[in-house]
Amino acid sequence: MVDDIPIQAGELLPLLAKYRLLPKLKQELIIDQAIADIHLTAAQQEQAQQQFLAKYQISEPEAQQAYLNYYGLTGDQLVEIADREARIEIYKQQTWGHKLESIFLTQRSQLDIVTYSLIRTNSAEVVQELYFRIKDGEQSFTEVASTYSEGPEAQTGGLLGPTPLHNLHPSIAQHLLIAKPGQIQPPISIDKWYILLRLEQKQAAVLDDVMRQSLLGQLFQQWLEQQLRMQPSPD
């Protein structure tokens, strides 16, 4: 029974499949297997619970009860979930923590943070005209983007970011990687679009705590996706 909806035990897996939740279930089972041998001390458990409550902004009793009601949890289950999140973080650190420096050095250029401006149109002729209009100083990049760009960036005068280079389309990232700030790039073609780019600012990536957590998260997700691909397909 879920709220007032009756569900028989035999219906659960078909329902998970129907609502495309089986991969999520498989993912969580794979994680449980991976962290099975990781155990927290009493101090670690207390810290895990405090961090969990702070993360989800449910430190106050009323907020905590609302969270339990929404997800159909008991207080004991909430403690188990908080412990599990902490054990996952320990697993990430144990598995990939010693590799982070070398991975960071290998990927460093793609981890740089960029702020850039973009104009896109589906016309090669239009993009050439706009390029020369900006290059010759007839109009600013911002004015042209606001008027002619055919994507949501028109609302910001073409300005996008800051964002890591690796989050961008490979062609855009490659052009921004070698661009000089303030210089408009000649038009490039990507899929159905003709694009103008200008690098505004580049911030070199640093292996600080935020970057370490980001890299650990990426490595964990890659591992998890690989494990899911290795799972046998249903008959």
- The pLDDT of residue 1 is 47
Q: pTM for the complete prediction?
A: 0.76
In CATH, what is the architecture of 113-203? Roll (3.10)
Share of the chain above pLDDT 70, in %: 95
Positions of CATH 3.10.50.40 in the chain: 113-203
pLDDT in tens, 21-62: 999 999 999 999 999 999 999 999 999 999 999 999 999 999
pLDDT digits 0-9 by tens, 132-151: 999 999 999 999 999 999 99
Q: HEC states along 132-196?
A: HHHHCCCCCHHHHHHHHCCCHHHHHCCEEEEEEHHHCCHHHHHHHHHCCCCCECCCEEECCEEEE
Dump pLDDT digits (tens) for 113-125. 999 999 999 999 9
194-233 pLDDT per residue, tens: 999 999 999 999 999 999 999 999 999 999 999 998 876 5
Q: For residue 217, which of 112, 54, 100, 114 has the smallest C-alpha distance? A: 100
